[in-house]
Amino acid sequence: MRRTARLLTGTALAVAAAGFVAAPAYADEGDGSLEVFPSQAVPGTQITVNTAVCGPEGTAKGDAGAVGAGTFTLAPSTHEGEAIGQFRVPPSAQPGTYEIVANCADGGRQVSGDLVVTLSAARGQEPRGSVKTGVGGALGPDPVQTAAGVAALAVAAAGGTWLLHRRARGDGI
Amino acid sequence: MHRVSNAAIGTVTVVALCSGAWLLGGGAGTHTPPQPSAAQAARTGRGGEPRGAPALPPSPPDRIRIPSIRVNAPLMGLALTPSGSLDVPPAAKKNLAGWYEAGTTPGEKGTAVVAGHVDNADGPAVFYDLGALKKGSRIEVDRRDGSVAVFTVDAVSVYDAEHFPDEKVYGPADRPELRVITCGGGYSRSTGYQGNVVVFAHLTGSR
């Protein structure tokens, strides 16, 4: 019963976790849902863009002409049924914010996202110190050991009862 | 009927009582997450490492797999806490790991950081067996651009939170490297785990 409950809980959590990860984790400042990664880059960087708008089998034509990288193709991928494409920021690109556009091959839907070009790398600071990744919930007695202990005590109780019973009958100890 | 002697019953009773008490009292030890041996520790001197595989372009990771300890978990983006330490995934989701989103992506040149829980209030979590990894073990990261970055473990170490080697764990690298972090070291009821198990790996292939 408890095991079933735990399995169900585990399944629910897994589904919840999958949903959580599927949600776009990146700031998407454009008017559509084109994820641009990294969204901030120095000239020469390879950029990956992806969108789910074109459907699981959909391809799209990408346009990074704004930043001088021309057109590129977004092809279906194994990631959440999204179309993915890549281009490289030209070494000559100037700092600024550029709109990257993708047009679905079928249906003509257009999505866009922003790419910020900077001259110095804007990676976040490095983390510091240890990471709080446990509470000790896995510690404690082994369940098998606990069961063995309970069984041994049951045997002891039965033995004791038997002896007391004989004594009460006057069998002598 | 052959009569069982009182002495026999008495002996069995006493032995059962003692062993039951010992077992329930935790006499055989508790089960704790595996910890790496000294032989798996990182070398103190740096430099002279193999170059490994060529760096991949940046692409966010979606999933981490460590076949030898049966890890196969989705990755979420992690930020920093106000104190500057790496944040962690929600403890309730026991098969979820995270990566430091503002840092290097796994496969790219530099040091990418992945963290996950060793346990939560209900029991073991995604990186419970991380301390059992050995040098040479394989770690695979699925990336959003469709590629898979394959890393090989160089070392598995335990560091005390009081003397955490930030530079060694998080510092820049001139080849694609990966750190996988979970809780470890000693445990006390008042302060929890005393440090972290840190796996050091570098990129050795992709597909």
The answer to whether A46 contacts B58, with C-beta atoms less than 8 Å apart, is yes
pLDDT of B2: 58
The answer to whether A124 contacts B32, with C-beta atoms less than 8 Å apart, is no
pLDDT of A31: 43
The Cα-based distances of B69 to A75, A107, B39, B127 in angstroms read: 34, 45, 19, 9
This prediction has a pTM of 0.64
The answer to whether A86 contacts B57, with C-beta atoms less than 8 Å apart, is yes
User: Would you give the DSSP letter of residue B102?
Assistant: T
Structural domain includes residue A13: no
Q: Crossing angle for the helix pair A143-168 and B6-24, nearest 10 degrees?
A: 150
Query: With 90 as the cut, is the pLDDT of residue A22 above it?
Result: no
Instruction: Return d(Cα A172, Cα A47) in angstroms, integer.
Output: 90
The answer to whether B22 contacts A149, with C-beta atoms less than 8 Å apart, is yes
Nearest by CB: A136 against B146, B171, B192: B192
Chain A positions in Cβ-Cβ contact with residue B166 (cut-off 8 Å): 126-129
Nearest by CB: A145 against B23, B91, B92: B23
Instruction: Return d(Cα A23, Cα A18) in angstroms, integer.
Output: 9
Nearest by CB: A155 against B12, B124, B170: B12
Greater model confidence, B33 or A3:
B33
Give the nearest chain A residue to B182 (CA atoms): A133
Cβ within 8 Å of residue A168, ≥6 positions away: none
Average pLDDT over residues A65-94: 88
Three-state SS for B12? helix
Three-state SS for B128? coil
Dihedral of the CA atoms A16, A17, A22, A28 (nearest 10)?
100
Structural domain includes residue A150: no
Three-state SS for B187? strand
What backbone phi and psi angles, to 5 degrees, belong to A134? -170, 155
Q: Is the ipTM of this complex over 0.85?
A: no
Structural domain includes residue A162: no
Structural domain includes residue A157: no
The answer to whether A48 contacts B60, with C-beta atoms less than 8 Å apart, is yes
How many CB atoms sit inside 10 A of residue B103's CB?
A: 23
Structural domain includes residue A159: no
Domain count within chain A = 1
The Cα-based distances of A14 to A168, B66, B73 in angstroms read: 59, 18, 9
Instruction: Return d(Cα A152, Cα A156) in angstroms, integer.
Output: 6
Which CATH number fits the domain that encloses residue A35? 2.60.40.1930
Least confident of B19-28, B79-88, B146-155: B19-28
Instruction: Return d(Cα A29, Cα B40) in angstroms, integer.
Output: 45
- With a pLDDT cut of 90, the percent of chain A lying above it is 24
- Give the A window 8-37 contacts with B, CB below 8 Å: 10, 13-14, 16-18, 20-21, 25-26, 37
pLDDT of B177: 96
Instruction: Return d(Cα B200, Cα B111) in angstroms, integer.
Output: 10
Nearest to A115 by CA among A33, A30, A52: A30
Nearest to B120 by CA among A132, A99, A52: A132
Nearest to B61 by CA among B113, B110, B109: B113
Interface test with B, best of A13, A51, A133, A162 (most B CBs within 10 A): A133
Domain that holds residue A41: 24-117
What tens digit of pLDDT does each residue of B31-76 get?
788 888 888 887 655 556 777 899 998 888 999 999 999 999 999 9
